[in-house]
């Protein structure tokens, strides 16, 4: 049955609704059809949630599907809710819910006012509901004032929270003023989820000896983006330059910062600490590091990564070309460290000043 079978103003026939779930009449008709696509009428292990504390009461049952009528924004501690949902589901179980994203909010506000007033109202709303809740002190005051509701988040942050909680997205659709989603439980929640909302972020990277260390950068992605890395690679693969193609996790400001390497300024602290050197292969995340062939991975961990990568000397396009470029650099560096770094440094400087080399 298509979504357009019934106009939004009509009532969904009783026979079309899941048995004994009349509370779903409160949802838009398209949302009811979206939910019904994924829920079996005969399945008795379905839990419908319309209370913030429903999952936190003692309950030993394991469900095959949870349907939350509340938005993720309505849970005071969204991650705790998602973790509790994970624990209440069997492997392969479904979590069906919705979230109000920045985009949903923007459209909703601007539709109420003339253009100029709409922009003013949206900017004020952004300060009140986006930035104030993210700060430690003002965030506590905000949660007390709004009783945990109205926590706005980007689509990226919402998806990242869901993936960090052990789910995999299988369907999503914009309906009305919400993004509805269906997520499948694949693993237990991540116990190492420590996202940050601050302008400077600490990112785990592979360093000398294969040990992970924290790289400091200016934030260019939305919070919780790191939990979507595998999903982005599987769906988008890599573009020229070895970066993820059409990476929706990067904000508009982030693209500007990356273009002129401004996001890498905090890495000077890594340089001072002796964790990296001036010229060297780029410190990689574990997911990206595992895309490399075994010979290069083994070669890489014998040397410190660098602030300025050999990439800007050769300007390779594909992942294979990047690996060849790094192998050439590492082999040359192992024979003559000082000469290699000096020659690469001046070649990179030339490409930046005269050939317009920029970060992609």
pLDDT value for 231: 83
pLDDT exceeds 60 at position 42:
no
Average pLDDT over residues 161-184: 94
pLDDT tens sequence across 116-139: 888 899 888 888 888 887 777 887
Give the per-residue pLDDT at 197. 78
Query: What's the rounded mean pLDDT across residues 269-282?
Result: 97
Is the per-residue pLDDT at 22 higher than 80? Answer: no
Q: How does residue 3 score in pLDDT terms, banded at 50, 70 and 90?
A: very low
Alpha-carbon gap, residue 214 to 269, rounded angstroms: 11
> Is the pLDDT higher at 143 or at 242?
143
Give the residue carrying structure tokens 């939305």.
Answer: 222
CATH of domain 3-101+153-185: 3.40.50.150
328 has a pLDDT exceeding 70: yes
Q: What is the mean pLDDT of residues 272-284?
A: 96
Check whether 41 has a pLDDT greater than 70.
no
Question: Of 220, 304, 319, 225, which Cα lies nearest the Cα of 264?
Answer: 220
Nearest 5 degrees, angle CA 63-CA 232-CA 95? 15
Q: Range with the lowest mean pLDDT among 52-66, 98-112, 170-184?
A: 52-66
> What is the band of 8 on the pLDDT scale with cuts at 50, 70, 90?
very low
Give the per-residue pLDDT at 271: 97
Per-residue pLDDT band at 360 (split at 50, 70, 90) = low
- Read off the DSSP letter of residue 143: H
pLDDT of residue 6: 33
The pLDDT of residue 24 is above 90: no
The pLDDT value given to residue 86: 93
pLDDT higher than threshold 50 for residue 12:
no
Using an 8 Å Cβ cutoff, are 183 and 95 in contact? yes
Across 65-79, 154-168, 189-203, 249-263, the highest mean pLDDT is recorded for 154-168
Q: What is the pLDDT of residue 241?
A: 52
Average pLDDT over residues 139-156: 80
| Per-residue pLDDT at 60 | 47
Mean pLDDT within 248-259? 89
Residue 75 scores a pLDDT above 80? yes
Higher-pLDDT residue of 241, 82: 82
Q: State yes or no: pLDDT of 358 exceeds 80.
A: no
Given a cut of 80, is residue 181 above it in pLDDT?
yes
Q: Where are the domains of the chain?
A: 3-101+153-185, 200-354
Within the chain, residue ranges assigned H as helices are: 29-38, 78-88, 102-110, 115-126, 136-146, 155-164, 229-236, 252-259, 267-272, 286-289, 294-300, 311-314, 319-335, 337-354
φ/ψ (deg, to 5) at 18: -60, 140
- pLDDT at position 44 is 62
Res 128: pLDDT? 85
Interatomic CA distance for residues 307 and 185, integer angstroms: 39
The pLDDT assigned to 357 comes to 66
- Pick 229 or 20 by higher pLDDT: 229
Top pLDDT among 52 and 253 is at: 253
Q: What is the mean pLDDT of the chain?
A: 84
Residue-wise pLDDT tens digits, 198-247:
889 999 999 999 999 999 999 999 989 888 888 887 776 655 555 666 78
Which segment of 7-21, 140-154, 240-254, 278-292 scores lowest on mean pLDDT? 7-21
The rounded distance, in Å, linking the Cα atoms of 68 and 66 is 6
Nearest CA to 35 out of 190, 230, 175, 162 is that of: 175
Residues 66-74: what's their mean pLDDT? 90
């Amino acid at each position: 049955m298509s979504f357009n079978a019934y106009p939004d103003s009509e009532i969904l026939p009783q026979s079309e609704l899941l048995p004994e779930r009349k509370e779903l009449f409160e949802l838009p008709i398209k949302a009811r059809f979206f939910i019904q696509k994924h829920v079996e009428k005969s399945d008795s292990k379905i839990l419908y949630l319309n209370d913030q504390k429903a999952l936190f009461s003692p309950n030993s049952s394991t469900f095959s599907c949870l349907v939350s009528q509340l938005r993720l924004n309505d849970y005071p501690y969204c991650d705790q809710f998602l973790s509790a949902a994970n624990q209440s589901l069997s492997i392969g179980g479904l979590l069906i819910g919705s979230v109000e994203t920045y985009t949903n909010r923007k459209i909703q506000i601007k539709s109420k006012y003339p253009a100029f007033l709409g922009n003013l109202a949206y900017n004020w709303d952004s300060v009140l509901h986006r930035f104030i809740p993210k700060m430690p002190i003002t965030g506590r005051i905000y949660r007390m004032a709004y009783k945990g509701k109205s926590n706005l988040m980007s689509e990226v942050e919402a998806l990242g929270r869901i993936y960090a909680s052990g789910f995999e997205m299988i369907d999503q659709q914009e309906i009305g003023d919400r993004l509805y989603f269906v997520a499948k439980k694949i693993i237990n929640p991540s116990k190492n989820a420590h996202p940050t909302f601050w302008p400077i972020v600490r990112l785990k990277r592979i360093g000398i000896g294969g040990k992970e260390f924290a790289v400091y950068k200016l934030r260019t992605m939305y919070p919780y983006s790191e939990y979507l890395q595998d999903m982005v690679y599987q769906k988008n693969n890599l573009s020229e330059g070895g970066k993820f193609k059409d990476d929706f996790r990067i904000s508009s400001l982030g693209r500007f910062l990356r273009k002129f390497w401004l996001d890498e300024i905090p890495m000077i602290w890594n340089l001072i600490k002796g964790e990296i050197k001036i010229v060297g292969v780029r410190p990689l995340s574990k997911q990206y590091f595992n895309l490399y062939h075994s010979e290069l991975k083994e070669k890489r961990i014998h040397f410190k990564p660098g602030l300025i990568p050999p990439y800007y000397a050769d300007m390779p396009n594909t992942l294979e070309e990047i690996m060849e470029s790094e192998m050439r650099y590492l082999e040359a560096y192992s024979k003559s460290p000082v000469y290699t770094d000096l020659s690469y440094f001046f070649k990179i400087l030339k490409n930046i000043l005269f050939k317009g080399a920029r970060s992609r």
